[in-house]
């Protein structure tokens, strides 16, 4: 990544769009919420660019497709509660692991890297989802979108994760699929790797300022290993 720079001791890994394709779960929960409000269903193609900024923004954006901001404000609390109810009922049922995730996590652990998951998904959704998909044992800490006062792209979640690890950000890499992850990590002082198969709000991954694009978490592990062989 950056020759001669500090060795990487830990990885902060995003969830939606990085480890799991969760758009089918979002589709079910959002359309359940929309049906409760008398709205027609929306497709995964519409939903995918909306993902990544947290549940509150996702719900609001899904309603702004049909209603103006004043109407959305009127029903927002009811809509958010409905969305959360529908999501918890199906959490993980339709989501799938991206290729190379388990292999990548195993390779990182074998290198001695410490792993933390930082996502904008609420922690009440995140913990059972990681457990259901067999990902929980790889992470020593997990932080959701409501674990800190601010979400990604603010640097607070990355800085909080580094503090929990008791490591300076210069020894940590953040791996994600979107500008949220990259902007948060850059501002915190972490390395940044991006995967090209996620969501990124409908924007090309090449627009993101990162230290490299990796095809999978397994390739990320290989990049980190190569970097550490030449690092200080």
Give binding residues for Mg(2+) as ranges.
14, 16, 177
Rounded to the nearest 10°, the torsion over CA 10, 121, 126, 98 is: -70
Share of the chain residues as helix, strand and coil, in percent rounded to the nearest 5 = 50, 10, 35
Binding-site sequence positions: 14, 16, 177
Rounded to the nearest 10°, the torsion over CA 227, 230, 231, 232 is: 170
Helix (H) or strand (E) holding 15: none
- Whether residue 120 contacts residue 47, with contact meaning beta carbons closer than 8 Å, is answered with no
**From CA 48, how far away is CA 25, in angstroms rounded?**
11
Provide CB contacts within 8 A for 15, sequence distance 6+. Answer: 22, 117, 119, 121, 126, 129, 130
- Whether residue 178 contacts residue 199, with contact meaning beta carbons closer than 8 Å, is answered with yes
**From CA 187, how far away is CA 220, in angstroms rounded?**
21
What positions carry a catalytic annotation? 14
């Amino acid at each position: 990544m950056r020759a001669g720079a500090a060795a990487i001791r830990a990885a902060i890994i995003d969830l939606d769009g990085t480890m799991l394709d969760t758009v089918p779960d979002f589709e079910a929960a959002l359309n359940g919420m929309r049906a409760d409000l008398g709205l027609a269903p929306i497709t995964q193609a519409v939903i995918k660019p909306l993902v990544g900024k947290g549940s509150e923004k996702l719900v609001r954006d899904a309603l702004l497709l049909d209603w103006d901001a004043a109407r959305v404000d009127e029903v927002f609390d009811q809509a958010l509660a409905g969305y959360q109810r529908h999501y918890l009922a199906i959490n993980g049922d339709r989501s799938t692991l991206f290729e190379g995730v388990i292999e990548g996590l195993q390779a990182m652990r074998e290198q001695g890297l410490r792993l933390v998951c930082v996502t904008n998904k609420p922690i009440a959704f995140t913990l059972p989802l990681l457990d259901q998909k067999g990902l929980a044992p790889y992470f020593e800490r997990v932080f959701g979108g409501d674990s800190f006062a601010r979400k990604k792209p603010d640097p607070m979640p990355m800085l909080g994760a580094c503090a929990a690890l008791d490591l300076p950000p210069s020894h940590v890499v953040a791996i994600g699929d979107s500008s949220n992850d990259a902007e948060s990590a850059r501002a915190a002082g972490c390395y940044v790797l991006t995967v090209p198969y996620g969501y990124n709000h409908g924007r090309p991954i090449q627009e993101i300022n990162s230290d490299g694009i990796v095809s999978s978490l397994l390739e990320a592990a290989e990049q980190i290993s190569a970097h550490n062989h030449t690092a200080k």
